[in-house]
Amino acid sequence: MPDKIRCAHILVKSEQQAKELLERLNKGEKFATLAQQYSQDGSAKRGGDLGVFGRGMMVREFEKPAFELQKGQISGIVKTQFGYHIIKRLE
């Protein structure tokens, strides 16, 4: 398993909105575009790109599914103290 990965995410406050965005992603909409439009954190302007991070740098609820993804794969909905995330593994 890699020690460092690069991911993007979409962070929203409601589970319902996360479900709607995941459905749109599954229909082929671009992850970066939806992140720019809907993500509620500073990564939105970068298409959700969080950059490279190592183990122990993110909250556990986020880190575990992020490190389990394959390159290009998108997670289901991940709940943390910050809200509801959809994670995409970039590298």
Percent of the chain with pLDDT over 90: 96
In this prediction the pTM is 0.95
For residue 86, pLDDT beyond 70: yes
By C-alpha distance, which of 14, 19, 9 is closest to 69?
9
CATH number of this structure's domain 4-89: 3.10.50.40
| 42-71 residue pLDDT tens | 999 999 999 999 999 999 999 999 999 999
Task: Identify whether the C-beta of residue 35 lies closer than 8 Å to the C-beta of residue 22.
Answer: no
Q: What is the mean pLDDT of residues 59-86?
A: 97
| 34-43 residue pLDDT tens | 999 999 999 9
Tell me how many helices (H) and strands (E) the chain has: 3, 4
Identify the residue whose tokens are 């575009």.
33
- Residue 19 to residues 2, 6, 27, 51, 58, Cα–Cα distance (Å): 29, 23, 13, 24, 22
